[in-house]
Amino acid sequence: MYRYDEFDAQIVAERVAQFRRQVERRLDGRLSEAEFRPLRLMNGLYLQLHAYMMRVAIPYGTLSSRQLRQLAMIADKYDKGYGHITTRQNIQYNWPELIDVPDLLNDLAEVEMHGFQTSGNCIRNVTSDPYAGATADEIEDPRPTAELLRQWSTLHPEFAFLPRKFKIAVTASPNDRAVIKAHDIGIEIVKNDDGDVGYHIIVGGGLGRTPIIGQTVRAFLPREELLPYLEAILRVYNRFGRRDNKYKARIKILVTETGIEEFTRMVDEEYAQLKPLDIAVSPEEVARITAYFADPDYETLDNEPKAYLSEIASNRDFALWVDSNIAAHKQAGYAIVNISLKPLDRAPGDITSAQMRKVADLADEYSFGEIRTTHQQNMILPHVKQSDLPVLFKELQKAGLAEDNIGMITDIICCPGMDFCALATARSIPVSQAIAERFSDPERERAIGEMQIKISGCINACGHHHVGHIGILGLEKAGVEFYQVKLGGDASENAAVGKVTGPGFSQEELVDGIERMVDFYLDQRGEGERFIDTYNRLGMEPFKEVLYVD
Amino acid sequence: MSTLKHKGKGPQSLTANELREGLNVWMTEDLTWSRDFKDAMTTEDPDVMERMKHRGDTDEADNLVVGVYFIDIEPETGLPARYREKFRAKGPSIDTADLVEGS
Ligand code: SF4
């Protein structure tokens, strides 16, 4: 795993000291709220619906056990004993007090963490494939590239006040687990016909009030050109992005209004003017960063050892958990373990401090001390021996972390909504719980198979509802919540924005309507079809008919 | 913290956030702040509102609270009229804190 060098450590330490002084000046009135607000936001501190909220960056969703233990300690010391994993792989605390935040940041800095670039119109914390470095289906580990981008974008002076926030995601797998086409820039690490590794650069994707799927601006960018080329894109955006209108200020609007051909031409023109070698990173530096992400010391093992297979054969609960929560590892005899943070009684993505400590201990014991957070608001132990899975499963059961629903109908992405968020128009957490409750029969859930329901509490779409197989948007009219439904969204490599079905529903009507659509799908599906496949085959009309039957 | 959608007519209460702790507060009859909406003073009297506003502005200038604004109150229920304000008064309908041992 990457460890901060002395520059990172110094930057973070200086920032903590600076923020401590800023808080002091705010408390004694030398700074007004208007002056202080952007300063606290630059450190990830928001003022939400009920209290301050602290968002901590987890670069590309990779955490060490030491960091997770510290996050648990912080949850206990400064908050209410839990944290919330966001759809950008970060963690949020819902109840910190301003007077504590300098100490909180200091404790974060001890484990090389902070809240930079989790707010504001800058390049935000870079996200990536949570299976990075562990999955067989990737060309290479995408995290060295993500780390390079982190170093480049951290406090980048030219891009600290962009027209709007800017999100970058990186993957190296054809199976997109990072929703790269819904980012301002999506980067896919690819190989060209000559076998060279480079970058497929996608630009202008985004969700929010105007969902747009990103388009290719460069099909193959040689590796060493990455930073200069991104610099060129950012410069074009910085110059031509719509600063006059907040709702049109994202790069997706610029790309759409300009057209991808013209936008590409503008980027190429800018690029030609840059001296690429100025900020191009040398192969030696790339190698230095990459070395931090070297494989852990795997043992040489056989795949699927007997004890593991016999546990599957004899323990049904274990077998079901393996079926849904375990993904194939590149190393024989190892597995990627998904830990669901979607039990019925919990807001999606929430994890208590005790559970964080447990996951950290389990990571030390079974996964080389490494943990991942996912944009699906779950966690991952990336490198677990298959032979350890039975005992790991028991440990997770004891900690209430063995929910076996990854990728299924109750594994719902859900933003905090009106329960916590100052921008919300409706609640989202109770809706997700009502849906999860309705489909809580495990047999039925398995029969339904892969299904992605995503819920946002307002048009900002943090809950990714545009790309849910079923997407739900919470709205309010005259003091009454109602929920709009979208169908046919897709967050995978086949990214698609769902279509609105029509008028919205109350929460109860909504859950009934979803159930009818699911039953219809079960009735109509062809061999091996998921909900989204059946939907794509039949189109919206028949689903709409059952949704609006009453 | 927009006041835009409040009509500013009928019964009003004054709300803000504590600067130091961040929690929601409402102005009480003795012109102090309470974290409990039940303690909130509600009035239609312009003179009282003027005093509340003055006190709110003073407390904001003294760095005790931030984002002071009036909210509409439903005469029938005594609750905030706007949906969002109802939630600010009620607190989250679900909070994992309630599941944390010892909380
Ligand atoms: S989608 Fe809206 S309600 Fe949900 S977290 Fe984002 S801004 Fe808040």
Of A356, A432, A423, A366, residue with least CA distance to A394: A366
A346–B87 C-beta distance less than 8 A: no
B87–A418 C-beta distance less than 8 A: yes
Predicted pLDDT at B2: 42
What contacts A159, CB < 8 A, 6 or more positions away?
A122, A123, A153, A166, A234, A238
Pocket around ligand 1: residues whose beta carbon is below 6 Å from it? A 415-417, 421, 423-424, 456-458, 460-463
Q: What is the pTM of this model?
A: 0.96
Predicted pLDDT at B75: 94
Q: What residue ranges define each of the domains in chain A, with the CATH number in brackets?
A: 6-109 (3.90.480.20), 134-291 (3.30.413.10), 306-398 (3.90.480.20), 413-547 (3.30.413.10)
* CA distance, residue B59 to nearest chain A CA (Å): 11
Predicted pLDDT at A1: 67
Of A504, A482, A431, A486, residue with least CA distance to B83: A482
* CA distance, residue A449 to nearest chain B CA (Å): 28
Listed by number, the residues of chain B in 2-21 with a beta carbon closer than 8 Å to a beta carbon of chain A are 17, 19-21
Tell me the three state secondary structure of residue A153.
helix
User: pLDDT tens across A212-242, in order?
Assistant: 999 999 999 999 999 999 999 999 999 999 9
Structure tokens at A381: 């132990």
Of A455, A508, A499, residue with least CA distance to A480: A508
Confidence of residue A4 (pLDDT cuts 50, 70, 90): confident
Predicted pLDDT at B1: 43
Mean pLDDT of the region B7-14: 89
User: pLDDT tens across B50-71, in order?
Assistant: 999 999 999 999 999 999 999 9
Among chain A residues, the shortest Cα distance to B96 is held by A346
A350–B22 C-beta distance less than 8 A: no
User: pLDDT tens across A235-255, in order?
Assistant: 999 999 999 999 999 999 999
Mean pLDDT of chain A: 95
Quote the ipTM score: 0.94
- Chain B residues whose beta carbon lies within 8 Å of the beta carbon of residue A481: 83
> Is the confidence at residue A361, as pLDDT, over 90?
yes
User: pLDDT tens across A316-341, in order?
Assistant: 999 999 999 999 999 999 999 999 99
> Is the confidence at residue B32, as pLDDT, over 50?
yes
A354–B67 C-beta distance less than 8 A: no
Among chain B residues, the shortest Cα distance to A349 is held by B96
Among chain A residues, the shortest Cα distance to B20 is held by A98
Confidence of residue B33 (pLDDT cuts 50, 70, 90): very high
Place of tokens 């590796």: A223
> Is the confidence at residue A278, as pLDDT, over 80?
no
- Chain B residues whose beta carbon lies within 8 Å of the beta carbon of residue A28: 63
Mean pLDDT of the region A439-453: 96
Confidence of residue A280 (pLDDT cuts 50, 70, 90): confident
Predicted pLDDT at A276: 60
Ligand 1 atom closest to Cα of residue A417: 3
Mean pLDDT of the region A29-42: 95
Burial label, A66 (beta-carbon count in 10 A; 0-12, 13-18, 19+): middle
Q: How many CB atoms lie within 10 A of CB A293?
A: 19
Structure tokens at A474: 């919470």
What contacts A468, CB < 8 A, 6 or more positions away?
A413, A452, A453, A454, A455, A486, A489, A491, A498
* CA distance, residue A412 to nearest chain B CA (Å): 16
β-strand partners of A370: A64
What contacts A64, CB < 8 A, 6 or more positions away?
A1, A111, A363, A369, A370, A371
What whole-number distance in Å separates Cα of residue B102 and Cα of residue A336? Answer: 33
Q: What percent of chain A has pLDDT over 70?
A: 99
Predicted pLDDT at A298: 98
Across the interface, of A97, A429, A479, the residue whose CB is closest to B94 is A429
User: pLDDT tens across A502-515, in order?
Assistant: 999 999 999 999 99
Mean pLDDT of the region A360-371: 98
Of A347, A351, A349, residue with least CA distance to A362: A351
Mean pLDDT of the region A173-192: 97
> Is the confidence at residue B3, as pLDDT, over 80?
no
Structure tokens at A140: 């290479």
Mean pLDDT of the region A35-45: 95
Whether A117 and A154 have beta carbons less than 8 Å apart is answered as yes
Predicted pLDDT at A257: 96
Order of strands across the sheet that contains A127-128 = A127-128, A168-171, A185-191, A197-203, A215-222
Predicted pLDDT at A277: 60
> Is the confidence at residue A451, as pLDDT, over 80?
yes
Burial label, A313 (beta-carbon count in 10 A; 0-12, 13-18, 19+): exposed
Listed by number, the residues of chain B in 23-42 with a beta carbon closer than 8 Å to a beta carbon of chain A are 23-24
Listed by number, the residues of chain B in 42-81 with a beta carbon closer than 8 Å to a beta carbon of chain A are 60-63, 66-67, 81
Order of strands across the sheet that contains B12-18 = B33-34, B24-27, B12-18, B65-72
> Is the confidence at residue A57, as pLDDT, over 80?
yes
Confidence of residue A550 (pLDDT cuts 50, 70, 90): low
User: pLDDT tens across A468-492, in order?
Assistant: 999 999 999 988 999 999 999 999 9
What whole-number distance in Å separates Cα of residue A489 and Cα of residue A115? Answer: 31
Confidence of residue B4 (pLDDT cuts 50, 70, 90): very low
How many beta-carbon pairs under 8 angstroms link A with B?
Answer: 98
> Is the confidence at residue A388, as pLDDT, over 90?
yes
Among chain B residues, the shortest Cα distance to A80 is held by B97
User: pLDDT tens across A99-137, in order?
Assistant: 999 999 999 999 999 998 899 899 999 999 999 999 999
Structure tokens at A15: 């920032």
Structure tokens at A31: 């700074």
> Is the confidence at residue A48, as pLDDT, over 90?
yes
Confidence of residue A6 (pLDDT cuts 50, 70, 90): confident
> Is the confidence at residue A360, as pLDDT, over 80?
yes
